[in-house]
Every structure is written in C-alpha cells, then in structure tokens.
Amino acid sequence: MLPVLDHGIAPNALLGAQFHPVDMQQALALAKQAMFERKRLQHSDVNVAKIVQMADDPQLREDVLQSDFICVDGMGVRWACKLLGLGLPDRVTGVDLMMQSFTLCATEGFRPFLFGARQEVLNKMVEVLGKSHPDLNIAGTRNGYFKPDDEADIVAQIKASGADCLFVGITSPIKERFLRKYRDEFDVPFLVGVGGSFDVAAGKVKRAPIWMQKIGMEWLFRVLQEPRRLFWRYLKTNLQFAVMVVRAAVRRDRGHTTNDTAKKAP
C-alpha cells in the first residue's frame, strides 16, 4: 500500500495499480523537500503500458507499488479514472518531471546523477543540458548497459558522487527492479525512473506537439516515428488496457446494482 504523502495526499487504486493524485507543482515540491531534507523519495509512474505489464508481471507490480509516490503518466489512465469514477489526477510525465527537476536543480544547487541510455546518447544529453541549463552541476553519469556483476560498482559510483537526485533512463522492468533493490544504498534522496526520456532530452527522439499531448495521442506520434517496431506493441497494449477498463466498469456497475437491490429489500 502506498503511503499517504504530506498534506494528506492519499493514493487512489486503479486496475491493480495505485497512484497519488498530484500535479506537477506538487511533485516538484515533494522532490525539493526530499532533497533539502536528504530524505528518500522514490518516484514511479503508471501509464497504460505499465498497468498492463503489472497485470502480467507480479514482480514488476510489487516493485512499482513499493515506491514512495506514484504519478499518472498517460492520458489513457486519466480517461480510465474518469470512466470508473475516480478522482482525476493531472498527468505528470516522466520526461517533464525530469526536465523541470533539472531547472529546480540549477536554481537550488542540487546535483543530479544520470544513469541510462547508450553512451553517445548520454554524452549528447549532457551537451544539450550544458546549453539549456548552464548553471546545472551534474554529479555524474553512467550509461545504461551493464551486467549483474557491474551493479555493485554502479551503486558505489552513484553513492560516491554525492548526488541529490538520480534519474534512471532504462526500460521497465529493469529500472524498477534496480531502484527497489538499491534505493537505500545510493544515499540519494530523490530517485526517478524515466525510461526513454534521455533520448528525448538528447534530441534523438522528438516529442509530439503539445496539442497531440493534450488529446492523448502522443502514443500515435511515437508509432508514426517507428511504425515497424511500435505499431503492434501499442495496438496490443491499448486493447488489453481497454478490456481491463471495461471489465472493471462492468464489475462496478454490478456492484452498484447489487447494493441498490439490497437497500430496497424489506
């Protein structure tokens, strides 16, 4: 069960997952507080793909739900919340949280560690950040290709860096397993898994226009960039999620009907 955050922000449950109904400003305020106080705050997120993955992978589900707070990343999840009568959270996408955290770090003097992606992508990302955030002091970097035997050295490198926040640009479920396993060894307050966001920050992958993001069609923009690799994956995942939502809606309606019948019984 996810903890209740400061200011009484309690988690909501959806399709076997959970999330805190926070917006970007609340998420950044939590991150800032954690870094100031040097108190661990492991962030995770849920979107359509991850909720489907969690349903099929109990270990991933456990790793995600052991996070300190979880945001909604994806319009599909927001639509499901609306259909199922849950409180509607704002989207807090991993890439936006990461980029705004860099701005926070540059302003407050916090130092991020970047772990993930290929070395050339990581190098380009650092170059781009040097231009967009000249006051940002990066604590360290490490590419995301490693063997199990390398993990102890990676953890030691991150800990020795004295970083205030760690961004892990590695795919699921690897990043969730890694963060849960070592989160108390890093000595880094704010921990964030951001998937493919390093590719976006480096300019390797383009984000959808704002209007497509707002109507929930960012996934289609990604498919159009890499149709052979992504079309069937997105189609399968979206269909699975739609089935999960419909089943949950039917169960909810049956429950309401049963309760109404019980109330009317003499």
Q: Is the pLDDT of residue 261 over 70?
A: no
In the structure, what pLDDT confidence band is assigned to residue 181 with cuts at 50, 70 and 90? Answer: very high
Give the tokens for residue 140: 């360290």
pLDDT for the residue numbered 266: 52
Q: Taking residues 83-101, report their average pLDDT.
A: 90
Cα end-to-end span (Å), the chain:
38
Q: Is the pLDDT of residue 40 over 70?
A: yes
CA angle 87, 40, 158 (to 5 degrees): 125
CA 212 – CA 220 distance, rounded (Å): 9
CA 246 – CA 90 distance, rounded (Å): 22
Per-residue pLDDT of 199-222, as tens digits, reads 999 999 888 888 888 877 887 888
Give the tokens for residue 128: 């781009």
Within 8 A by CB and 6+ apart from 19, the residues are: 2, 11, 12, 45, 46, 70, 71, 72, 77, 89
pLDDT over 70 percentage in the chain? 95
pLDDT for the residue numbered 71: 94
Q: Is the pLDDT of residue 124 over 90?
A: yes
